[in-house]
Amino acid sequence: MHFKLLLVFVEDGKTDEVMKAARVAGATGATIINNARGEGITQTKTFFGLNLETQRDVLLFIVEEHLSRAILETIAEVAGFDEMPGKGIAIQLDIEDAVGVAHQVQQLSSAVEEQI
């Protein structure tokens, strides 16, 4: 079984909604890193020298490759990435090797067979 890593940078208020939608789409779980920050094309606004940027969370999903695109698209839709700039981004990367995912292989096998 081959896996992909989905890196999702999302507004912290959308994290729970994205997690629920990703699970429905086939993700088995994620690691969440809180309180990240970033800057896009336009700089963040300031008020008396204080940044008025929203906090971001980074979600790391290891997903089976046949399910990865559907999960990625679901995340983008739920998080509203294409609605307006600054909502967040999600990318996927190939995973060459992984350990600690053997318990997921049995659960994923039937889901992947349905997709193929």
Helix (H), strand (E) at residue 111: helix 102-115
pLDDT of 14 reads: 92
- Tell me 86's DSSP state: T
pLDDT of 99 reads: 83
Hey, how many other C-beta atoms are within 10 angstroms of the C-beta on 87?
17
Over residues 19-62, the pLDDT tens digits come to: 999 999 999 889 999 988 776 666 666 666 665 567 889 999 99
* Fold category of 3-115 in CATH: Alpha-Beta Plaits (3.30.70)
Q: Is 64 helix (H, G, I), strand (E, B) or coil?
A: strand
pTM over 0.85: no
